[in-house]
């Protein structure tokens, strides 16, 4: 089978700590941009799907934020690390190539967690890739349900991008007007790239 390469114009690679609001921010951005040009892709979705298959679990329940996922999170992280040790770009390729939004001009990668995730997009799509970090202070994250969990919050899946530089940092501490203005500005920047 010959794989057809996509030609996205803009790839926004989002990252952030647990409960920083990555999904909330990426959902808002996707709504601003519209379904016709953009699509959210989750790097964790194919990981969770394959993990669910191999461990006889409910894939849909692994996608939400319930206790169901939290019970297997540590083991799922270790399993994913073993897969990444074999091929660091495995989940990046799988999540984009199997996505229904593969041929849309704007990809929103909602959950990059490692340097190798960012490296894959920057090397594969150098002119299209922009890195975005969503931040929220610890008090805000705790108000959203964050509780430090050993072997999760101190693991590479949460810490590998600490100290990295990003093209854009979005403050998501609850100031909805500030967040809306930031996303509107980002939308205008993306729109200008699509019209060139």
Binding-site residues from annotation for ATP:
17-23, 144
CA distances from 91 to 45, 82, 101, 114, 169 (A): 9, 12, 16, 11, 24
Report whether 160 contacts 80 (CB < 8 A): no
CB atoms within 10 A of CB 152: 16
Q: Of 45, 62, 73, 65, which is closest to residue 153 (Cα–Cα)?
A: 73
Q: DSSP characters for 131-145?
A: EEEEE--HHHHHHTT
The annotated binding site for substrate is made up of: 172
**What is the C-alpha separation between 138 and 17, in angstroms, rounded?**
10
- Please list the residues that pair with 15 across neighbouring strands: 133
Which residue numbers belong to the known binding site?
17-23, 144, 172
Q: Rounding to the nearest 10 degrees, give the CA dihedral for residues 74, 77, 79, 84.
A: -160
**Pick from 107, 102, 106, 112: nearest CA to 132:** 112
């Amino acid at each position: 089978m010959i794989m057809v390469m996509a030609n996205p114009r803009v790839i926004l690679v989002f990252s952030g700590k647990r409960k920083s609001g990555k999904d909330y921010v990426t959902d808002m951005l996707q709504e601003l941009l519209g379904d016709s040009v953009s699509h959210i892709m989750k790097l964790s979705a194919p990981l969770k799907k394959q993990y669910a298959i191999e461990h006889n679990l409910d894939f849909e329940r692994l996608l939400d934020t319930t206790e169901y996922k939290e019970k297997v999170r540590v083991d799922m992280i270790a399993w994913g690390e073993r897969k990444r040790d074999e091929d660091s770009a495995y989940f990046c390729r799988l999540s984009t190539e199997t996505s229904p939004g593969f041929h849309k001009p704007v990809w929103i990668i909602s959950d990059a967690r490692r340097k190798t995730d960012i490296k894959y997009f920057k090397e594969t799509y150098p002119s299209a890739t922009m890195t975005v970090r969503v931040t929220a202070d610890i008090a805000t994250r705790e108000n959203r349900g964050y509780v430090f969990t050993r072997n999760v919050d101190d693991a590479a899946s949460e810490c590998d991008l600490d100290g990295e530089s990003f093209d854009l940092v979005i403050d998501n501490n609850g100031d909805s007007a500030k967040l809306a203005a930031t996303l509107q500005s980002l939308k205008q920047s993306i729109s200008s790239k699509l019209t060139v």
